[in-house]
Structure 1
Amino acid sequence: MPGPLTIFVLIFLFLSLLSFVASIMGFRKRMFLGGAIGLLVGLLFLTLTGLFVTITVAIQGYRALTQEEIAARVKIEPTGPEKFVAYFSFPNGRKETFSLVGDQFYVDAHILKWKPVVNFFGLHTAYELDRVAGRYTRLEDELSKLHTVFSLSKSKPVDMFSLRERYSLLSPLLDAEYGSATFIPAKKPTEVEVRVSTTGLLVRKADPQ
């Protein structure tokens, strides 16, 4: 079933086509004022169509968030001194494996908080995990040793989080916030849940499966 955004895209596209047809008919009948108004209305609806298409593309990969939920389950297996593998399992069944260095790891997320004015269009708080990285406990190691970082986000032509950061005119519509999980020790085998809420990320010990 199409979501609210898709429905609004189709509605505005249909209205723009109707307006353009009415505009053409007005010009043919030499009703220039009516034709011009129809053209302007058509352009307005076409602009709204483009706006909603852009939003639809820009929020791909983001998951709606209404309460605290599991963003990923992570299994850590050390493979050597300051080396470990992180096995990610996501709620949608996707699995990823990352080889990291350090003695801790952390996860970042992008959180979109839509304002009430656009909730009518089906846009609510949403999140997307952004990256996972290794980290050293000692500052000297953090400054001098090898670092590893990998993307967790879905590749997309345009990202709503980046658009919000770049264009302040979007501030009446939404806020874009970073969420970072607590640094998680990786010196011994462990399994954790990365959870997300409207206030950010948190990590909890995973229950045995």
Structure 2
Amino acid sequence: MPNILWGITVAFSVAGMIMLIAAFMALRRGRPLRMSWRLLWALMFFTLATAGGGVIWGVQGYRALTHEDVAVVVRTEPLGPNRFQAQFRFADGREVVYVLNGDQLYVDARILKWHAFANVLGLNTAYELDRVAGRYQDLTQEQQQPRTVQSLAPARDVDLFTLRQRYAVLSPLLDAEYGSATFAAADSPSQYEVRVSTTGLLIRKREP
């Protein structure tokens, strides 16, 4: 997380504490109006500090995206008609395996796109893989056959997509309603690279 954003969050926290102490001193001196104003300033600073802390916490797990990046390598293996196994190997070495219904592999991701002036704080476009699903090439099967969906995103208490709804102060900084998806055939043994670029997800087959 950028040091600049850490510094701003700490500064708002310190300013809030100073205003809170000043409000207490005004109360002791019998100046209720001055106490009220200082409490309002303290509340504003603490709100900004909380929002900044939420951004710092919520962005953890999202990978910075400055160019085309390999998000995950996937190996698919058919298990029968409209059923296949997908093995995911992430950049950090983590591996997961899912059995999915369908004849195509579907992957989507969340893209965090900040407004240009937020880049001054070191907040760059970032991404996180969200879900994997089995997809049917035939529309009728897609509508009628059982579907399988699994999560690729780690569980977290704070998420930037919900933070934006909770704190209106983040709206000028973050444009978070952006998702991207890609799919590829899974009816034969294959290995794919799921890549993320500034324009979204794409999938490329790895040649043996």
- Equivalent positions of 1:177-192 (< 5 A) are 177-181=178-182, 183-192=183-192
Q: Which amino acid aligns with 1:177?
A: Y
- Amino acid corresponding to residue 147 of structure 1 in structure 2: R
| Cα drift, residue 164 of structure 1 | 4.8
Query: Aligned equivalents of 2:33 and 2:164: distance in 1?
Result: 38
Aligned residues: 207
For residue 134 of structure 1, what is the aligned residue in structure 2?
A: 134
In the superposition, relative to structure 1, how do residues 9 and 192 fare at CA in structure 2: closer, same or farther (>3 Å)?
Answer: same
Deviations 1:13-44 (A, max 9, x none): 12211221122223323455544443222111
Q: Which moved more, 1:134-143 or 1:27-36?
A: 27-36
Alignment of 1:46-61 (within 5 A): 46-61=46-61
Matches within 5 A, 1:26-175: 26-32=26-32, 34-162=34-162, 164=164, 171-175=171-175
In structure 2, the CA distance between the partners of 1:155 and 1:44, relative to structure 1 (3 Å rule), is same
Compute the displacement of 1:162 (Å). Answer: 4.5
Code of the aligned partner of 2:19: S
**Aligned-pair distance for 1:140?**
2.0
2:34, 2:165 → 1: CA distance?
Answer: 41
Which structure 1 segments of 5+ residues have no match?
none
Q: Distance in 2 between matches of 1:83 and 1:44?
A: 55
**1:41-60, CA deviations, whole angstroms, 9 ceiling, x for partnerless residues?**
21111010111122233333
Partner of 1:137, secondary structure, is coil
Shift of 1:163: 5.1
Aligned ranges 1:4-43 → 2 under 5 Å: 4-32=4-32, 34-43=34-43
Q: Deviations over 1:50-97 (max 9, x none)?
A: 111222333333221111111111111122222111111111222111
Q: Distance in 2 between matches of 1:46 and 1:101?
A: 49
User: 1:78–1:189: 8 Å Cα contact kept in structure 2?
Assistant: yes
Percent identity over the alignment is 46
TM-score normalised according to structure 1 size: 0.86
CA distance in 2, matches of 1:145, 1:103: 12
**Structural RMSD (CA):** 2.5
CA separation in 2, counterparts of 1:72 and 1:191? 11
| Maintained 8 Å contact 1:107/1:180 | yes
Q: Does the C-alpha gap of structure 1 residues 168 and 189 become closer, same or farther in structure 2, counting only changes over 3 Å?
A: farther
Residues 105 and 5 of structure 1, relative CA distance in 2, 3 Å threshold: same
